Amino acid sequence: MRVFSGIQPSGAMHIGNYLGAIKQWVKVQGPESFYCVVDLHALTLQIEPGELREQTTDYVASLLASGLDPDVCTLFVQSHVASHAQMSWLLECVATYGELSRMTQFKEKSSRQEGHRVGLLTYPVLMASDILLYETAEVPVGDDQRQHLEVTREIATRFNNRYGETFVIPKAVLPPSGARVMDLQEPSRKMSKSVSSPLGKILLTDEPAEIEKKIKKAVTDTDGEVRFDWEQKPGLSNLLEIYSGFSGESPESIAARYERYGDLKSDLAILVVESLRAITERYHELRRDPAGLDAIVSLGSQKASAVAEPVYLRAAKAMGLF
Ligand code: ATP
Ligand code: LTN
């Protein structure tokens, strides 16, 4: 089964990224899995060149530390494979302005930024290109990417109808728990690299004391009953969801074991610290060997190009190029 997914190297990785996406990537990885650090996507928001370069390597290290095995799957960097940008132009001439301007992420991010970049609008087309180039069947992502997957399917279907069968129609695959981890301070919105405050998100690289502090200070409610109920108790339900994401137990059965918020928070802090400990240690080890990381992504780009280029050429020919 061909699998593709990507993550932007902008801002440090948080447990929403881990539970919503990376944990599934690791679980389903195999010779047909392609995972990509999407540095071209990171250019849609303000980022210093040096920071982008540094974070791209950080992300490669974090993904390996989380359990991706370069001997099993293909891990690479988007800008190293030219077909992504090339395919994106072709698909910009298939996607419509209307469908792109209706995207929730575009509306949110463009309203926060004066003089926002055109890339913010065309972002889902580049994402569709990423996915379609690999004849992808399944895309493991968090809930916030569902809408982008729908547009990908529409663009692919429109292309196939207009120019002949060219693309496989992919589908999103969401994890059973942790598909939408919320901000610890504002549980009405998702934990986000670019929007959440430091207290609102737990980073993969946070020290144990910081993790404990953030969980302790997480916003809950005052009625005191431990119950899984997103409507009435979004803050507490988020903590139960995180617990479930790390332990595999259902949020309801976790809730049944606790009478007090404080006890739940203490145990959750221990669970998160323990779950992230091995990842953090491995990350620091890998980060000390930048040449080793370069070698991994360089091989990854070669493997990715070999799959993506023929698909790009097929699409270009179908449209009348060459
Ligand atoms: P930003 O909010 O700044 O756009 P992000 O935190 O959403 O960034 P991405 O690189 O865009 O991070 O996302 C990488 C993967 O992590 C995607 O599959 C996305 O669905 C998933 N993801 C991101 N945030 C969450 C979250 N809060 N809960 C679950 N999954 C998430
Ligand atoms: N838009 C995604 C990142 C992304 C992606 C992809 C995810 C870019 N290309 C292809 C899955 C498949 C996000 O998480 N913000």
129: pLDDT confidence band, cut at 50, 70 and 90? very high
Structure tokens at 271: 């669970």
Q: Can you tell me the mean pLDDT for 23-38?
A: 98
Q: In sequence order, what are the residues at sequence separation of 6 or more whose Cβ sits closer than 8 angstroms to the Cβ of residue 13?
A: 7, 22, 59, 62, 193, 203, 204, 205
Cα of 104 from ligand 2 centre, angstroms? 14
Over range 196-224, report the average pLDDT: 95
3-state secondary structure of 140: strand
Buried b or exposed e, range 94-132, using 16+ CB within 10 angstroms: bbeeeebeebeebeebbeeeeeeeeebbbbbbbbbbbbb
Q: Partners of 268 in the beta sheet?
A: none
Segment 162-186 mean pLDDT: 96
Secondary element (H or E) of residue 75 = strand 74-77
pLDDT band for position 224 (50/70/90)?
Answer: confident
Q: What's phi and psi for 58, nearest 5 deg? A: -55, -40
Ligand nearest to the CA of residue 131, numbered in listed order: 2
Entry pTM? 0.95
Whether the predicted pLDDT of 153 surpasses 90: yes
pLDDT bin (cut points 50, 70, 90) of residue 111 is confident
Provide residues with CB under 6 Å of ligand 2.
4-8, 38, 41, 127, 130-131, 139, 141, 145, 148
> CB–CB of 178/24 below 8 Å?
no
Mean predicted lDDT score pLDDT of the chain: 96
- Which residue CA neighbors atom 23 of ligand 1 most closely? 17
Q: Which atom of ligand 2 is nearest to the CA of 105?
A: 15
Please report which ligand is nearest the Cα atom of 196. 1
Q: What percent of the chain has pLDDT over 90?
A: 92
* Banded model confidence at residue 109, pLDDT cuts 50, 70, 90: confident
- Buried b vs exposed e over 243-271: b needs ≥16 C-beta within 10 Å? bbbbbeeebeebbeebeebeebbebbbeb
Find the ligand nearest to 63 CA.
1
Q: How far is the CA of 156 from the CAs of 83, 128, 193, 203, in angstroms? A: 16, 8, 29, 35
Q: Best of 5, 104, 144 to mutate for ligand 1, by most ligand atoms within 8 A of CB?
A: 144
Residue ranges lining ligand 1, Cβ < 6 Å: 7-8, 16-17, 19-21, 141-142, 144-145, 178-181, 190-195
Give the residue numbers marked as catalytic: 109, 190, 193
**Mean pLDDT computed over 114-121:** 90
Element (H, E) at 158: helix 146-163
pLDDT of 184 > 90? The answer is yes
Q: What is the pLDDT of residue 194?
A: 83
Nearest-angstrom CA–CA distance, 105 and 256: 36
Confidence at residue 322, expressed as pLDDT on a 0 to 100 scale? 85
Q: Given a cut of 90, is residue 269 above it in pLDDT?
A: yes
